[in-house]
Amino acid sequence: MAFHAKHVAAALENLGIENADFVCNSQGGSVALVLAANYSHLVRKVVLSGSEPLFRGRGALTPELGDLIAQLVTDFTEGEGPTREKIRQIMIKLEYWDPAAVNETTLDLRWHYLQQPGPASTWASGSVRAGDPEDLETLLAEVKRRVLVLWGRYDVFATPAYALSIADAVPYGDVFLMDQGGHHMEEERPQDFAAIVKTWLDLPADTNR
């Protein structure tokens, strides 16, 4: 995460941007937290959804979910290899509460990305594995910026209690739990997601207690 945060910081400094707000999903939220800890002058507030920046509180992967993920990965790389429809099935079974909410633009982008030379296409071939998770708990205590953990109630990767664990790990953490959604609240309930984020970002960023 530090590698990504360093490059985001370099881009912001090159553009002359400070006190930026970050609204991030999944790994992007973890990167934003590292950025807030190590480059606090560049960050005003952080909103994260579906991120897993610490091991504590995540809960054990259920055998059923572990088996499902393993089967989807196997199916994805075997037979005719990766296809657009296989990507859709991964999104439906792991990332979205409502299958009808799968965004076709996102699906197209993922399919396009996997066809490009580089790490994505290498992973899709089954020849390399994804990186190990990174526990950022020690670093989270250094995040002196306000953080909103905006969580989908039916995110299969971690329970709502995990969102509270993240909020507990940072000095200034708020939590909002959204019903009828999974890992991608910004796509399943975009209007509600935007309204919540805007309202929270408009609140004072003061961290005095």
Final residue before a domain boundary, out of 104, 124, 144: 124
End-to-end, the C-alpha distance of the chain in Å comes to 29
**Which range marks the domain in which residue 84 is found?**
63-124
Pair 67, 43 in one domain = no
Pair 74, 41 in one domain = no
> Pick from 150, 187, 157: which is nearest to 94 by CA?
157
Beta bridge partners of 149: 48, 175
Final residue before a domain boundary, out of 124, 150, 174: 124
Pair 31, 80 in one domain = no
209 in a domain, yes or no?
A: no
CATH of the domain at 183: 3.40.50.1820
Average pLDDT for the chain: 88
Pair 197, 139 in one domain = yes
Range with lowest mean pLDDT among 54-68, 124-138, 162-176: 124-138
Query: Degrees (nearest 5) of the Cα angle 69, 176, 101?
Result: 50
Query: Degrees (nearest 5) of the Cα angle 136, 142, 146?
Result: 100
12 in a domain, yes or no?
A: yes
Over the stretch 144-173, which tens digit does the pLDDT of each residue have?
A: 999 999 999 999 888 899 999 999 999 999
Pair 80, 109 in one domain = yes
pLDDT of residue 121 exceeding 80, the answer is no
207 in a domain, yes or no?
A: no
The count of structural domains within the chain is 2
- What's the pTM? 0.86
Position 54 scores a pLDDT of 92
Over the stretch 18-51, which tens digit does the pLDDT of each residue have?
A: 999 999 999 999 999 999 999 999 999 999 999 9
Asked if 68 contacts 93 with a C-beta cutoff of 8 angstroms, the reply is yes
